[in-house]
Structure 1
């Protein structure tokens, strides 16, 4: 079985209620994990060690894009709702991965997504480098669509 690999990917987050999605040039990570719990007991055959499923961690995606007023404002407003613990902060979102030609290679539904973190990369005044912003979006569950 052969597969296609995604190169020069582009990323898009679209939330319910947004007129347009936000594009990102870099993905720092996508994570969905379940903690494990160690369990040991003494049985007839001696000490037994096992690992059991533990608590699921909230799935998250961390993305980067160049700083612009509209994109920063949109992300920061979403993040501000989460900081206020507003129920409006949790919205259905779609995370889309596209190849260089703009063909969708993966679509993931982020159930009850919220903007957990917004960061700006360090920069120096007068520098000609592009200022990058990074955001981490967490959710209750992920579904491949």
Structure 2
């Protein structure tokens, strides 16, 4: 699949396994995995970070294949607070860093262009979340004058 704002191809990566059940070599039961997810969320980790930690530290390849539920679904059912717009939060933080850079380096045209691309990604995601009726964070970065 191509990248959003270039004519290049995307990153290649490994494919997820085709089977839907838990791997036979996995020593964890679904209840144990759910408890790990809740524990990591209470420590302040987001859903994507929880998945990475479980994969790298605990050897759990996919939470959904073990429990039958996504990480965000587990957190919603358990009533644990987390950011439902994690991807949007990261894009907003990136735009804030770019705006801070542009306050020091006003003639950095490359950064000005890339900030426009990031802002368009933010708008696109905000429209998506508005359609899905997900509460949005404050998007003040879009109003920042460069």
- TM above 0.5, yes or no, is no
Structure having the higher helix fraction is 2
State TM-score, norm by structure 2.
Answer: 0.22
